[in-house]
Amino acid sequence: MWEYSEIVKEHFLHPKNVGEMKDATCVGEVGSIACGDALKLFLKIEDGVIKDATFQTFGCASAIASSSALTELVKGKTVDEALKISNKDIATVLGGLPKEKMHCSVMGQEALEAAIKQWRGEDVASVEHSEGEIVCECFGVTDHQILEAVRENDLKTIEDVTYYTKAGGGCAKCHEKIAALIAQARGEAQPKAEDKPAKKLTNIQRMRMIEDVLEKEIRPRLQLDGGDIELADIDGVTVSVSLRGHCVGCPASQATVHGTVERILRDKVDPEITVREV
Amino acid sequence: MSQPVVYLDNNATTRVAPEVLEAMLPFFSERYGNPSSMHSFGGAVGKEMREARQQLADLLGCEIDEIIFTSCGTESDNTAIRSALAAQPEKRHIVTTRVEHPAVLSLCKFLERSQGYRVTYMGVDAEGRLDMKELEQSLTPDTAIISVMWANNETGVIFPIAEIARIAHSHGVMMHTDAVQAVGKVDINLRELDVDMLSLSGHKLHAPKGIGALFVRRKLPYRPFLIGGHQEHGRRAGTENTTSIIALGAAAGIAREHLVDENTRVRALRDKLENALLAAVPESRLNGHKKDRLPNTANISFKYVEGEAILLLLDQLGIAASSGSACTSGSLEPSHVLRAMGVPFTYAHGSIRFSLSRYTTEEDVDYVVKNLPPIIETLRKISPYKRGEADPIDPRKPACGC
């Protein structure tokens, strides 16, 4: 069960400003029924001031609460002031949201932006994320949205990005791209260059790293299956190991040696490594 | 958190029957002996444990030495599948379904990903049923085990276990069934049913959490999962959870007595609930085959609304149920079972599962029938989607890839 704040509960149980606004100046729509939540925000703008706001939301309690809070938040604000509202502001007036639910606040902020864009006559045809390239095909999330969410909320991990934007929450194919975007937004170097150590390892360095990776990453995995592994020898890039415990005679032992052990060592230490069982 | 007034989430867990609690309590206190001990203080507990084993064997229609007590259904499932693989190291293929409980599904995915096994995940039709032809075609000389649940936890749909076992054995393949949801709800007689292994869980049949069992047919090649002492004849090491084993025995005895009630009175209540809700709420639908189903489970979808919101409003009224919506699971996609059945997204996010038990009363059902339709009405007023409109928000938007 989610831990919702009392304010979230109140907005969910007694949402404010529900319904279609017939004489709305502009409408912002985000989400879709396939993705599990959608918000339609109606604004009435007079002389650059938001006089009224209503919403219709399909989604969970926090989506409904975020929409309700958003309408209260924007009423009386000028368009310029409203544009400064971030997803964080929405989450804050709600007394916080569970982090898995932060995308509800992002949805609110995006609907607001879409409505105001429509009012300004910008890009009305595709109010949604017209900028940028789709990164997550499952949920239709663009690189712009991800970069914005990372910057706005100081996100650090792919999981964070999924909580805030839903990107990466489906088939997971885009996880590498998301990692690169996080690095880009945070002003860090692209991760691909750093993941693998510089080419020329000395024999000693390589041996130490192999031992380390075996001990910290590979053995615990095998031990989960009741197996174990022992390092027999390292000769240049040839690593000799012997399998122990359940791995002995396990039909998957060849797959373990060449698949798991070799793959991890190649990935973490040196792409030249070959592993053999002795 | 106050106790729910109306508990309709019995496929998640059940209350411990008062008789069961009474039977188990002495083994927490004065009767704490270890059944393996040489003294009669411990030995007497062993004797009671044998009786519990007999009660469970009577419920399943098997012999007492075919039962191994475990810690839960998940352990039983893991033990069964890993045992089958370890006993037939030359065979590298597993057949299961897309709608299994994670106890089987995640294990199979793990074996596939990290140990190089080949796994066939059989699909289901729109009513959640398997295709026996697909099963037959998926079997190869390399197939080590077929693992198919007896009844689905989300929809209650029952699979033709006897036929699956027959097909398995005609191809020389071992057959395991996860019967966690079936035991106590459907008649099981393992003397006539040719499955090799069967998993069950105590807390789904009014015993406490933390106890399960695995049926392993005599003479079936078996490899233990936990290695250690001689308990369970060396097939599952570790000091027996005597208290919970006594409880599971008592629960099995009571389940056997209530089997008829479960299939008449409880079924009638379920049908009443289901029919009344489907009639009262427009654009609602039943998920799962109407007849081939557990007597206690109803999975109903309400179009244009989201399951978590429904559950929280039900919770306000003291009604406990569950949902296959994405938001309740913490993942972003709706239930893998409903997706495998091809339930449209307009319905999948708004699915609610009601699972009854022998403690469910007519008043409980009436209370839900009275209170749920207005909840759906309220949420539909908030929803931008309306009856007759397919998808008012741009349908060109990429759909979820799920």
Considering the domain architecture, whether residues A97 and A147 belong to the same structural domain is answered as: no
| Beta-bridge mates of residue A227 | A245
- Is residue B395 in a domain? no
- Contact at CB, A169 and B327, closer than 8 angstroms: no
Alpha carbon of B109: minimum distance to chain A alpha carbons (Å):
14
Taking residues B59-75, what's their average pLDDT?
98
pLDDT of residue A263: 82
Domain assignment present for A125: no
As for how many domains chain A has, the answer is 3
Q: Catalytic residues of A, which ones?
A: 35, 104
ipTM of the complex: 0.85
> How much is the mean pLDDT over chain A?
84
Residue B399 pLDDT > 50, yes or no? Answer: no
Which of these, A84, A81, A40, lies nearest to A64 by C-alpha position? A40
Question: d(Cα B297, Cα B14) in Å, to the nearest integer?
Answer: 13
Shared domain for B247 and B315, answered yes or no, is no
One domain, residues B212 and B283:
no
Q: Which of A225, A204, A3 is nearest to A95 (CA)?
A: A3
Residue to mutate among A33, A103, A158, A246, with most B CBs inside 10 A, is: A33
Domain-located, residue A216: yes
pLDDT level of residue B296 (50, 70, 90 thresholds)? very high
Q: Which amino acid appears at position B147 of this protein?
A: S
Nearest in space to B301 (alpha carbons), one of B154, B401, B157? B154
Collapsing DSSP to helix, strand or coil, A75 comes out as: coil
Residues B104 and B193 in one domain: yes
CB contact under 8 Å between B304 and A33, yes or no, is: yes
pLDDT band at A213 (very low <50, low <70, confident <90, very high): confident
Residue A236, domain CATH:
3.30.300.130
Distances (CA, A) of B159 to A81, A195, B145: 59, 48, 17
| B222 band by pLDDT with thresholds 50, 70 and 90 | very high
Give how many domains chain B has, as a whole number. Answer: 2
Whether residue B107 is predicted with pLDDT greater than 90 in this model: the reply is yes
CA distance B379 to chain A (A): 8
Least confident of A85-99, A214-228, B270-284: A214-228
pLDDT beyond 60 at B390: no
Which CATH number belongs to the domain containing residue A170 in this structure? Answer: 1.10.10.1100
Q: Which of A13, A18, A254 sits opposite B316 (nearest CB)?
A: A13
Q: Which residues of B touch A139 (CB under 8 A)?
A: 332, 398, 400
Judged by CB atoms closer than 8 Å, whether chains meet at A139 and B398 is answered as yes
- Identify which has the larger pLDDT, A87 or A255: A87
Of B231, B192, B248, nearest in space to B23 by CA: B248
The pLDDT score that the predictor gives to residue B387 is 66
Whether A251 and A269 map to the same domain: the answer is yes
Domain match, B141 and B162 both:
yes
Res. A249: pLDDT tops 70: no
pLDDT of residue A130: 54
Residue A38 lies in a domain: yes
The pLDDT, as a whole number, for residue B397 is: 39
Over the stretch A112-170, which tens digit does the pLDDT of each residue have? Answer: 999 999 999 876 544 444 567 888 887 888 888 888 889 888 898 888 888 888 888 87
B233 and B94 assigned to the same domain = yes
Interface size, chain A vs chain B, as Cβ–Cβ contacts under 8 Å: 133
Identify from A60, A133, A246 which residue to disrupt to test chain B contact, counting B C-beta atoms within 10 A and taking the largest count. A60
Contacts of A221 in chain B (CB under 8 A): 114
- Local structure of B297: helix, strand or coil: strand
Of A13-17, B176-180, B364-368, B384-388, least confident by mean pLDDT is: B384-388
How far apart are the two ends of chain A, measured CA to CA in Å?
51
pLDDT tens-digit readout, B312-349: 999 999 999 999 876 665 566 788 999 999 998 889 89
Chain B touched by A220 (CB under 8 Å) = no
* SS3 at position B162: helix
pLDDT at B180: 98
Tell me: pLDDT of B160 over 50.
yes
DSSP code of residue A169: S
> For position A228, what pLDDT does the model report?
80
Closest chain B residue to the Cα of A263, Cα to Cα: B114
* Reported confidence tier of residue A17, pLDDT bands at 50, 70, 90: very high
Separation between Cα atoms, residue B380 and residue B346, nearest integer Å: 12
Are B80 and B177 found together in one domain?
yes
Instruction: Read off the amino acid at residue B84.
Output: A
**CB contact burial B125-144 (16+ within 10 A = b; e otherwise):** eebbbbeeeebeebbeeebb
Residues of chain A found within 8 Å of residue B381, distances taken between Cβ atoms: 18-19
CATH number at residue A91: 3.90.1010.10
Q: Decide if pLDDT at A108 tops 60.
A: yes
Using alpha carbons, select from B289, B260, B261 the residue that is nearest to residue B274. B289
Contact B16, B207 (CB under 8 A): yes
Same-domain check for residues B290 and B364: yes
Token pair listed for B392: 């008012």
- pLDDT at residue B262 in the model: 95
Q: Tell me the residue range of the domain where B364 lies.
A: 6-11+258-382
Which helix (H) or strand (E) segment holds residue A81: the answer is helix A79-83
Does B395 have pLDDT greater than 50? no
Instruction: Name the more confident of B255 and B402.
Output: B255
Does residue A127 lie within any of the structural domains?
Answer: no
- When CB atoms are compared, the residue of A170, A221, A256 closest to B332 is A170
Mean pLDDT of B184-211: 97
Average pLDDT, whole number, for chain B? 93
Strands in B128-257 per DSSP E:
143-147, 174-178, 197-201, 212-216
Same domain, B246 and B266: no
Is B221 contained in some domain? yes
Q: What is the pLDDT of residues A55-70, one digit of tens each?
A: 999 998 999 999 999 9
Q: Is A19 within a domain?
A: yes
Task: Tell me how close the Cα of A2 comes to any Cα of chain B, in angstroms.
Answer: 8
Question: Could you tell me the CATH number of the domain that includes residue B100?
Answer: 3.40.640.10
Same domain, yes or no, for A189 and A208?
A: no
| Token code pair at residue A125 | 């045809």
- Give the pLDDT band of residue B4 (cuts 50, 70, 90): low
Range of the domain at A172: 134-195
Residues B267 and B248 reside in one and the same domain: no
* More confidently predicted of A223 and B42: B42
Separation of alpha carbons B35 and B58, rounded Å = 22
Lowest mean pLDDT among B54-63, B192-201, B344-353, B365-374: B344-353
Average pLDDT over residues B139-155: 97
Same domain for B156 and B299? no
Note whether A33 contacts B401, CB cutoff 8 Å. Answer: no
Choose the closest CB to B394 out of A128, A226, A254. A128
Q: Percent of chain B beyond pLDDT 70? A: 93
The distance in angstroms from the start CA to the end CA of chain B is 35
Q: Are residues A154 and A178 in the same domain?
A: yes
Using the 3D structure, point to which of B217, B239, B255 is the last residue of a domain: B255
Instruction: Say yes or no: A106 and A11 in one domain.
Output: yes
CB contact under 8 A, A140 and B397: yes
Task: Give A170's contacts in chain B (Cβ within 8 Å).
Answer: 332-333, 400-402
pLDDT at B161: 98
* B227 shares a domain with B278: no
Q: Which residue of B has its CA nearest to A226?
A: B225
- Cβ A277 vs Cβ A259: under 8 Å: no
Does residue A124 form part of some domain? no
Position A184 in a domain: yes
- Summarised one tens digit per residue, pLDDT across range B363-380 is 999 999 999 999 999 999
Tell me which residue of B93, B75, B71 sits closest to B84, measured CA to CA: B93
Measured CA to CA, the distance from residue B188 to residue B180 in angstroms comes to 12
Task: Give B47 to chain A, closest Cα distance, Å.
Answer: 33
Give the pLDDT score at A22: 94
Structure tokens at A15: 């949402």
Question: Which residues numbered 177-206 in A keep a CB inside 8 Å of some CB on B?
Answer: none
Q: Which of B 353-392 lie inside 8 A of A, CB atoms?
A: 381-385, 391-392
CB contacts under 8 A, B 314-343 vs A, are 316, 325-328, 330-334
d(CA B357, CA B265): 10
